[in-house]
Amino acid sequence: MQKSILTVVGKDRVGIIARICSYLADNDVNILDITQTIVDGFFNMMMICDTTKTTKEFHLLSDELDALGKELGVMIKLQREDIFEKMQRI
């Protein structure tokens, strides 16, 4: 299994989760776990995803999610699980 960590941060608005989940489903990315909170109007979400079945290159998924985030007015970051873990140790 190829796990990736997807994080989303920004001002809360209607449709953020729906648009991101639709994009992931359209690209055969399975959501394994999800947590989200809204604090004082700011949206924060983290997903653990399985990117094993997608046919897109990882960098293309990441770039398209970045563009989707700009469209939604949030920051979306997709990282491979191993890179994410190493960054958290630093």
Tell whether the model's pLDDT for residue 82 goes beyond 90. no
Structural domain total, the chain = 1
Q: Is 77 helix (H, G, I), strand (E, B) or coil?
A: strand
CB atoms within 10 A of CB 15: 9
DSSP label at 56? S
Tell whether the model's pLDDT for residue 79 goes beyond 90. yes
CATH number at residue 63: 3.30.70.260
Pull the structure tokens for residue 18: 């729906």
Taking alpha carbons only, the member of 57, 47, 44 closest to residue 4 is 47
Q: How far apart are CA 28 and CA 13, in angstroms?
A: 25
Q: Outline where DSSP puts E strands in the chain.
A: 3-11, 30-39, 42-50, 74-80
Question: Range of 77's domain?
Answer: 3-89
pLDDT digits (tens, 9 = 90+) for 17-43: 999 999 999 999 999 999 999 999 999
